[in-house]
Chain A
Amino acid sequence: MLKRWRQTLTWTDVVVYAIGVIIGIAVVYGTIRTWQKAEYTPEQWINLTIDGLKLGSIYALIALGYTLVYGILRMINFAHSEVFMAGPFTAVFLAIYLDDIGFYNAQPIISLLLITLLSATVSVTVALLLEKIAYRRLRYAPRLVPLITAIGASFFLQYTFRGFYGADVETYPNLDILKGTLTFGPITIPKTDLFVIVSGFLLMLLLYIIVQRTKIGKAMRSVSEDKEVAALMGIDVDRIIQFTFGLGGASAGIAGIMYAIIYQNVHAFMGFIPGLKAFTAAVLGGIGNVVGAWLGGTLLGLLESLGPNLFLSGMGIPSANQLKDGIAFAILVFILIFRPTGLLGERISKTKA
């Protein structure tokens, strides 16, 4: 067996694996040191974990848009972060209006439904417009061209919404029924977090069912597999692509409302970083499949939340939380070294575009 390894392994493989191993050792070392120092109480760790799960739910929902579009078109929809932003940034005005007339806290469930509906609608519209105007003509262009278009569309949308609604931050009014915390034994969890985690999970489940078990989901998967053959089988490829964008858009719009419930502040540039993280999550989990998006998102959320305190400060780095964003990428590199197609592998077409 060693001989077989010797034949397939090259020097670069060795170096690359060495890099991966170094990252791994650093993480383990840092973790052990942190356990030894015991700076943080179990209560704090639980708090961080819940935080990570909540972040992860949001990332997962956004990642879904990236992963589905990539699976079908083999392109990174860079502008998906603006699809995510458009919904809650528009819906905030409805929320403020409802709050002004007192409806917001009088009928919180209906208000929430209305706001989510508006947010999802706006996001879907933006996604569909993107597909029609910017991407459709470029479907068979070399890989870089739609990517650049997406980057341009991203800037365009950011500044358009900034022009519309102003450069200021808008705040969602507080929902009284979601104020406060719930306690389950040793775990105290804010109601907003619980709401986001649970609804995020249910939503992912719903989306999984749509993709795996419905007819249109099957059509989506077959278009992912091979566009031409799917067309030969009588599937309206354009329609399915539109549906995919729409589904990703809806999921991003809903993720936006969850984001708004927790962080309350929305503005024209709020999409950039979550979008980036979500794409990392999609790649982490294995691009092209729904479960991968969920897994990647959750994992990324946990790593971001626990990471700095867990292993970075253990390694003796002061002010470790500054490097929080770097952790996501370092972990990505680590995973991609040992498992280049992501944790759960890819589900994309074998043929290019």
Chain B
Amino acid sequence: MNAETSSPWKQALNSGLISGVICLLVMLVGLVESFGDTYIISGMITLGEIILLAPVIMLTYTALRSAANSSQRTMVGISAIIGLVSGCIITAFILLCQVVDLRFMFVNASPALFSLLMRGVPLPLGALVPPLTCLIASVVTLGIYLIPSRPRAAVIQGFLWVVVLGTLRDQILIIDVFKIQPFALILTRFVFAQSGLSILGALFVFAISAGLAYYLSGRKNRPAIIRSARVQKRNRIILIAILAVIVLSLPYALGLFYSEILDTTGLFIMMGLGLNIVVGFAGLLDLGYVAFYAIGAYTMGVLTSQLGGLTFWQALPFALVAAWLAGIILGLPVLRMRGDYLAIVTLGFGEIVRLLALSDWLKDNLGGTQGIQQIAQPIIGPLAFNSLQRLYYLILIGILIVAFVAWRLKDSHLGRSWMAIREDEDVAQAMGINLVLTKLLAFSTGALFAGLAGTLGAAKLTSVYPHSMTFIVSINVLVIIIIGGMGSIPGVFVGALVLVGLPRLLSEFQEYQYWFYGLALVAMMLFRPEGLWPEARRKLELHEAEGPIEPPIIETVSTGQ
């Protein structure tokens, strides 16, 4: 980027205009009104207002950052301009809508929205409210910007936690652990109000989270204490033990609702680990991954429901073999295809499987539109895995197996062959790697993992419908491994928790879930393409274009996994 030579005022004006337009966009999409009654701090500020002011805050912040060397007066000026311009754009739109009712086109340009924007103040006085609120937002941002960096990070953390907890009020109160008295009493009467946090609660949360953040950031600056290897090992074991206890007690600590979310997330983790092998290790872009899940689920369904009569465990090997074979069958025609063609063909494969499952042609065997019901659930001796909480453990074991296999494969000869193919097929072939075998193994291993997830998914729902096997699911899995970090195994866990667990938690956002999804994807790719928990090698690759990197003195690769 060349150095900006235009005056800071012009830039501020520019930012203000952009911010105003983004505010308009957010308004018209309907976010502000939908969340206009979700209070963060009861009676004071709603989530809708925060969303509306978010563009103003972000653009003010970036503008201040790029004008970091200017005088204080300029900074005040910049923030004021951005705030006022954004607010004026909003007001201008409101006034426009008084003249022309735009609702035949923009369904959200309603009087209810406007009164929300003007905080209930009627026109003509109300017209001053948006510029005022935006101005306040930008000035507050300026204030935060001027705080020295350590307390600033703490303050920002404090605000974020207030927003998060205020939004998640309902979800927190459902947690079984928090239903125990006296917890429940404190939470429902003191910290939270009917909607969102109470004012006292908000101050409390802010104080604790900002304080904690400040304290922790202080500790980082102290010199690290070197501990002996034995002590380190002991600490690590203690940590793993604590983690294991937490993980194993989750379904019963958190309750039925969270168990369902954990189960679904677990299945996606399994699929993610599988696709990670195909896309992350071997670099083969598979957009039809849901087909293997479907094959696993349907095989289990067909064999255990009336049509077959086997038990879960009897049918499991058949389902796994079926998925594995499917991987090979998919792999064969696409062996010669290059990158993006491969993507389209695999997408087609996914669609074909779904169409076949839906079709009337195969209705007698596969159930057609009505799907297959009464699928058996796993039984070990006297223990039937027929509740969401119990299935969690089975899924957990599945994940551990799959993750272990993936981890070992990664550093094996096969794993390195995959990575070689990912980098450059021709060179890999020249080095003696059998392309055919390697690619087929990638597809089939990935398919196997998805098939396993499919069988457990079928048991979880005790039914399987073709309508669940859509392209969106393949995209979901792809996005999980991309956001988590391509080729990174811990990344799959992070990605699944963020992209599957979080939206389920925030079900109020459901209407806008994919909107946020899309936004998050674009933002991630622009600013952090290596994912949230990157594989070290990938990170180096992706930031290659940003200039030479000093050779790493300590190889982080071996410990990063």
**Are B29 and A317 touching (Cβ within 8 A)?**
no
**Are B518 and A329 touching (Cβ within 8 A)?**
no
CB proximity of B466 to chain A, nearest CB, Å: 11
Within 8 A of B (CB), among A137-186: 137-138, 140-149, 151-160, 163-166
Q: Does B512 contact A (CB under 8 A)?
A: yes
B519: A residues at CB distance < 8 A: 152, 156
Contact of A336 with B358 at beta-carbon distance under 8 Å, contacts A10-B436, A160-B25, A163-B31 already known? no
Report the separation of the CA atoms of residues A337 and B334 in the bound assembly, to the nearest whole angstrom.
8
Q: Which of A76, A155, A322 contacts B358 (CB 8 A)?
A: A322
Contact of A159 with B512 at beta-carbon distance under 8 Å, contacts A16-B333, A332-B348 already known? yes
Nearest B residue (CB) for A312: B361
Report the separation of the CA atoms of residues A16 and B440 in the bound assembly, to the nearest whole angstrom.
13
Report the separation of the CA atoms of residues A12 and B479 in the bound assembly, to the nearest whole angstrom.
32
Question: How large, as a class, is the contact surface on chain B?
Answer: 35 or more
Q: Does A319 contact B (CB under 8 A)?
A: yes
**Are A336 and B341 touching (Cβ within 8 A)?**
yes
**Are A329 and B348 touching (Cβ within 8 A)?**
yes
Q: Does A238 contact B (CB under 8 A)?
A: no
- A310-341: CB near B (< 8 Å → 1, else 0) gives 00000001111011011011101100110010
**Are B348 and A141 touching (Cβ within 8 A)?**
no
CB proximity of B249 to chain A, nearest CB, Å: 36
A259: B residues at CB distance < 8 A: none
Nearest B residue (CB) for A334: B333
Question: How large, as a class, is the contact surface on chain A?
Answer: 35 or more
Report the separation of the CA atoms of residues A322 and B520 in the bound assembly, to the nearest whole angstrom.
35
Report the separation of the CA atoms of residues A153 and B349 in the bound assembly, to the nearest whole angstrom.
24
Q: Does B3 contact A (CB under 8 A)?
A: no
Q: Does A230 contact B (CB under 8 A)?
A: no
Report the separation of the CA atoms of residues A154 and B347 in the bound assembly, to the nearest whole angstrom.
16
A59: B residues at CB distance < 8 A: none
Q: Does A294 contact B (CB under 8 A)?
A: no
One of A45-53, A107-115, A204-212, A276-284 at the interface = A276-284
B478: A residues at CB distance < 8 A: 148, 151
A138: B residues at CB distance < 8 A: 525-526
Q: Does B529 contact A (CB under 8 A)?
A: yes
B475: A residues at CB distance < 8 A: 151
One of B101-109, B237-245, B306-314 at the interface = B101-109
Within 8 A of B (CB), among A107-140: 133-134, 137-138, 140
Report the separation of the CA atoms of residues A322 and B521 in the bound assembly, to the nearest whole angstrom.
33
A151: B residues at CB distance < 8 A: 475, 478-479, 518, 521
Report the separation of the CA atoms of residues A326 and B373 in the bound assembly, to the nearest whole angstrom.
26
Contact of A333 with B360 at beta-carbon distance under 8 Å, contacts A19-B333, A159-B29 already known? no
Q: Which of B105, B340, B356, B526 contacts A134 (CB 8 A)?
A: B526
Report the separation of the CA atoms of residues A132 and B269 in the bound assembly, to the nearest whole angstrom.
34
Q: Which of A10, A133, A322, A330 contacts B359 (CB 8 A)?
A: A322
Most-contacted residue by chain B among A137, A149, A163, A165 (CB, 10 A)? A163
Nearest A residue (CB) for B350: A329
**Are A164 and B348 touching (Cβ within 8 A)?**
no
Within 8 A of A (CB), among B270-299: 279, 285
**Are B341 and A340 touching (Cβ within 8 A)?**
yes
CB proximity of A134 to chain B, nearest CB, Å: 5
A38: B residues at CB distance < 8 A: none
Q: Does A233 contact B (CB under 8 A)?
A: no
Nearest B residue (CB) for A342: B341
Q: Which of A149, A164, A336 contacts B526 (CB 8 A)?
A: A149
B343: A residues at CB distance < 8 A: 76, 147
Query: What are 20 A-B pairs with beta-carbon distances under 8 A?
Result: A11-B436, A76-B340, A76-B343, A93-B105, A134-B522, A142-B542, A145-B542, A147-B285, A148-B478, A148-B525, A149-B521, A159-B518, A164-B105, A164-B107, A322-B355, A323-B359, A326-B348, A326-B352, A336-B345, A340-B336
19 more contacts with CB within 8 A, not counting A16-B336, A144-B482, are A76-B343, A138-B526, A148-B479, A151-B479, A152-B522, A153-B518, A154-B518, A155-B521, A159-B515, A163-B515, A319-B361, A322-B358, A322-B361, A323-B356, A325-B351, A326-B355, A329-B351, A329-B352, A337-B333
Identify the B interface with A (CB < 8 A): 25, 28-31, 104-108, 279, 285, 332-333, 335-341, 343-345, 347-349, 351-352, 355-356, 358-361, 436, 475, 478-479, 482, 486, 512, 514-515, 517-522, 524-526, 529, 541-542, 545
3 interchain residue pairs of minimum CB distance: A152-B521, A329-B348, A156-B518
